[in-house]
Structure 1
Amino acid sequence: MNENRVKQILSSSADIEVKYNGVSVWIDQLNEDGQTATVHLRGPLEERSTVRIDELIEE
């Protein structure tokens, strides 16, 4: 995924499924470096991780 698509997803009201390593995640924010994002797993766990945006896949 690229920086522009991450920004579009963040500004969208639609429920857009994004996966990281085969697991569904929510994108919380695009980090200032433009190369990483903060994400958390969909579901009850709120643990956040920083991941490279080029490893995110839109379903």
Structure 2
Amino acid sequence: MVNETVEETKCIHHWIIDSDNTGICKYCKEVKNFSGLQRRESKFLGLKSVFDKAEVKATR
């Protein structure tokens, strides 16, 4: 039983994230909430759009 617990903590997760931002690991079935991920992505995309605008200005 102790070995099973150790193996579960060593899982290299492969998250399957549904539309509610709830992820389930494909291998160990651990559940994780990914609702904060969307905010980080939108910040990154916002920075990307700023860089895209700078590149357009630089090529003109």
Verify same fold: TM over 0.5. Answer: no
Larger helix proportion of the pair? 2
Structure with greater contact order relative to length (CA < 8 Å, sep ≥ 6): 1
TM-score by length of 2: 0.31
The structure carrying a bigger strand percent of its residues is 1
